Chain A
């Protein structure tokens, strides 16, 4: 019988090459002993290893290239990246397009100034023929928004035109004409010319400058101001010429919110399919933009009426109408 070297607890209980003989405390008859064979500890079959009495060592950390770990980490990195992309889009929409549009607006203004200086019409009549999409033809000022609020209005309401500035609905009237001079403008990004037109109060001036004239439009009374207008706000100095419209125009108010497909707000008589002959039409101005902000669910509409026209004096090129000083 061979002897097995071992350590720790369980001495005498080793099976292995001892077979299944239980160790006996009794001394056995002495037999011819074979030489002791040493089996290295680590060569013992695992089942035969004696418990060492120490806690089992922790399993080694998983290898670095674990596919599950890589997949989860990559997924997380993709999500973080997408979040950064969305943030970048906000920067693009709110700041970047403003910068791009500011450049285009500046170019359009310079072009318009040059055009106004270039040819001097002895009749001093405004002509709005031959305007191409995106061509500037007038400037608008809203003194209530500050002295620095001015935009060059361009022809057309395509996306490219509206990137330059407020765009004129091509089939509507031009500044000073009878009918409805309708202009659309962005409310978010792209210079956001109409960002705050919900803050235009009744009687606030919207001044439109053309080559030969200044036209002063004033916002109409709002729905809730209509009753008692003549005795109330209508008496204020700057409301001269602004009244609650009657007849066919009785539904036209200073500010309204409509559905996106309501094209009648830019009709010659807003809200009406039919219009009287040009000679009987009032001179209105209409601003349209999206509503609420950051949405296209509705459209915000501002209606104004022409109250005054100042012909430009070629002798005083730097003269501006007094309405421009109505900055609050």
Chain B
């Protein structure tokens, strides 16, 4: 998978490294700002109330 991505990145090695880091950061941002906030309410850390 990672080898496949690396083979399909264009340009010389320096450009490839830059693109790879950008891809990784984009993936992390997607998780942090979209996936985790969505998944969090489904997990049992946040139920701190009782019914009134």
Contact A296 B45 (CB under 8 A): yes
Does A319 interact with chain B (Cβ within 8 Å)? no
Selected contact of A189 from candidates B2, B31, B45, CB within 8 Å: B45
- If A77-B2, A85-B31, A159-B41 touch, whether A258 touches B48 (CB-CB below 8 Å) is no
A186 to chain B, nearest CB (A): 6
Does A217 interact with chain B (Cβ within 8 Å)? no
Selected contact of A261 from candidates B28, B36, B46, B50, CB within 8 Å: B50
Stretch at the interface among A31-39, A109-117, A169-177: A169-177
Once the chains are docked, how many angstroms separate the CA of A96 from the CA of B49?
22
Cβ contacts under 8 Å, A169 to chain B: 49, 52
Once the chains are docked, how many angstroms separate the CA of A189 from the CA of B28?
19
Contact A74 B1 (CB under 8 A): yes
Contact B48 A290 (CB under 8 A): yes
Contact A288 B49 (CB under 8 A): yes
Give residues of chain A (252-287) contacting chain B, Cβ–Cβ below 8 Å. 258, 260-263, 265-266
Interface of A, helix, strand, loop or mixed by DSSP: mixed
B1 to chain A, nearest CB (A): 4
How many of chain A's residues have a CB under 8 angstroms from any CB in B? 44
Contact B45 A290 (CB under 8 A): yes
A141 to chain B, nearest CB (A): 20
Selected contact of B52 from candidates A159, A190, A263, A297, CB within 8 Å: A263
Contact count band on B: 10 to 19
- If A93-B40, A159-B41, A170-B52 touch, whether A186 touches B31 (CB-CB below 8 Å) is no
Does B32 interact with chain A (Cβ within 8 Å)? yes
Contact A260 B50 (CB under 8 A): yes
Once the chains are docked, how many angstroms separate the CA of A265 from the CA of B45?
20
Once the chains are docked, how many angstroms separate the CA of A285 from the CA of B28?
42
Contact B46 A299 (CB under 8 A): no
- In the assembled complex, 28 residue pairs joining A and B whose CB atoms fall closer than 8 Å, in A order, are A73-B1, A74-B1, A78-B1, A88-B28, A89-B36, A93-B36, A93-B40, A96-B32, A162-B49, A167-B49, A172-B52, A182-B52, A184-B49, A186-B48, A187-B48, A189-B46, A260-B47, A260-B50, A261-B51, A263-B50, A263-B52, A288-B50, A290-B47, A296-B44, A296-B45, A296-B47, A299-B48, A299-B50
Residue positions of B touching A, CB distance < 8 A? 1-3, 28, 31-32, 36, 39-41, 44-52
Residue positions of A touching B, CB distance < 8 A? 73-74, 77-78, 81, 85, 88-89, 92-93, 96-97, 157, 159, 162, 167, 169-172, 182, 184-190, 194, 258, 260-263, 265-266, 288-290, 294-297, 299
